[in-house]
Structure 1
Amino acid sequence: MVTESSHSQLTRRSFLIHSTQALIGLATISVPDLCLAKIPEKRTLSLYHARAQKALTLTYANGKQYNPKALARINSFLRDYQTGQVHRIDPKLLDILWAVQREIGSKGVFKVVSAFRSPQTNRQLRRAKSGVASHSLHMEGRAVDIQFSGADLGQIRRCAMDLQTGGVGFYPKSNFVHLDSGDYRTW
């Protein structure tokens, strides 16, 4: 037999369980994903590829919808310029760039030092330089090394660290910040 007081306890218990589950679910959403859920605006990036000496500005998403044609153009633009190989760039990586740009409060241009790398290019870089990961997220289209006009490297780093999504590597001697869509970590 359920009395009114036991019924209200079950309701309270049910409320607490559902509330806890909702909070746990929110904790697993990355900051850009959470921001995008609230922002139905167009997301535009301006990129300049240092190796190719080419620029690209385009809107790659509107609200939660990604533009497949724009993503294909970005895939081609961020290809491995040593081999010419094109690879899918993770849209979450683009969202991280967009969130950094938004937090910095600038309509600047991302100067791309390195984006997708084929395994061949990654091996060559590992032989030539220290600090290049053998299983780099660059090879999965999930990492980019950048500068940003209108912001110094330290500001980019702090902003990306505040977002706490993806990897943030700081390379002041090489003049770039590494961002990736992997687990949150810094170096």
Structure 2
Amino acid sequence: MIERRKLLGMGLGVLGASVVGPVAALAQAKLSDSDPIGDLLLRQSQQAEGLPPEGLAPTAAAPAPPPRPASAAPRWLKLHNIHTEEKLEAVYFENGDYVPDAVQALDKVLRDYRTGDVHPMNPRLFDTLADLAGKTETKAHFQVISGYRSPKTNALLHERSGEVAKRSLHMDGKAIDIYLEDVALDRVRAAALDLGRGGVGYYPTSNFVHVDVGPVRRWVGS
């Protein structure tokens, strides 16, 4: 059992409850043509989904930053999946290493909500979010619009719109789309850019910031 001090405020049975029954049925239903969140994701540029397409350069790409210094200090992360309503507050790094049960819980919260598929997220993405929380001094959970995206979901979105990359960093567990309820979106973007890591996409109309652990680059979408 996960220690209470490591995992707090889990909205549903994040560990131990498999995606079956009504939840699975709901996930399958969200693969239908009527999918408002899917329509929102279709407005993302191809740069956000994967790497910049050939002939289209992202703006002001910075050199890759040095590796994050090793530290044994505990690292916290607070997530809220807006589709499943699951909330998770976890110490995912402690005593110089990642905490396996906490990482597994984070992976589950960030699963593909349409299919229920769980995929290991890149731990560097957790570190980016933790540092982003520190820079913005947020007290809130990261509101998650899109974490992991399964091949089935990505293929569906790609088929419906050429703006969705055929090979997305979301499919590798290396990207996430988020916003914060207590921090203005432009401040979230500025803090992410200040970290100097991976890709940062700014979507003021759709109200989210995309961050990933791919090459350093930036862009603005709708």
User: How high is the TM-score relative to the length of structure 2?
Assistant: 0.66
| Superposed displacement of residue 65, structure 1 | 0.8
| Superposed displacement of residue 28, structure 1 | 5.6
Q: Where does residue 88 of structure 2 map in the other structure?
A: 56
* Counterpart code for 1:127: E
Higher gyration radius (CA): 1
Q: Where does residue 57 of structure 2 map in the other structure?
A: none
Residues 1:114 and 2:151 aligned together = no
Question: Greater RCO between the two (CA within 8 Å, min separation 6)?
Answer: 2
| Superposed displacement of residue 64, structure 1 | 3.1
| Superposed displacement of residue 129, structure 1 | 4.8
Q: Once structures 1 and 2 are overlaid, which stretch shifts more, 89-98 or 116-125?
A: 116-125
| Cα distance per residue 1:26-58 (max 9 Å; x no partner) | x7624xx13xx2x43211111110111111111
User: Which of 152, 157, 172 pairs up with 1:125?
Assistant: 157
SS at match of 1:75: helix
| Superposed displacement of residue 150, structure 1 | 1.3
| Superposed displacement of residue 63, structure 1 | 5.2
| Cα distance per residue 1:133-176 (max 9 Å; x no partner) | 22110000110000012111111111010111011011111111
**What runs of 5+ residues in structure 2 fail to find an aligned partner?**
1-63
User: Which of 194, 201, 212 pairs up with 1:180?
Assistant: 212
- Residue correspondence of structure 1 range 83-102 to structure 2 within 5 A: 83-102=115-134
User: Which of 18, 23, 29 pairs up with 2:66?
Assistant: 29
Q: Where does residue 149 of structure 1 map in the other structure?
A: 181
CA contact (8 A) 2:72 2:97 kept: no
Counterparts of 1:179 and 1:79, CA distance in 2: 17
Which structure has more helix as a fraction of its residues? 1
**What runs of 5+ residues in structure 1 fail to find an aligned partner?**
1-26
Identity %: 40
Residues 1:163 and 2:195 aligned together = yes
Counterparts of 1:133 and 1:94, CA distance in 2: 23
| Cα distance per residue 1:106-134 (max 9 Å; x no partner) | 22210000000001101222234563222
SS at match of 2:89: strand
Counterparts of 1:57 and 1:129, CA distance in 2: 35
Counterparts of 2:127 and 2:167, CA distance in 1: 23
- Between Structure 1 and Structure 2, how many residues are aligned? 156
Moved over 4 A (4+): none
Counterparts of 2:99 and 2:204, CA distance in 1: 34
| Cα distance per residue 1:41-84 (max 9 Å; x no partner) | 21111111011111111110025310011111111111111111
SS at match of 1:160: helix
| Superposed displacement of residue 105, structure 1 | 1.6
Q: Where does residue 137 of structure 1 map in the other structure?
A: 169
Counterparts of 1:71 and 1:142, CA distance in 2: 14
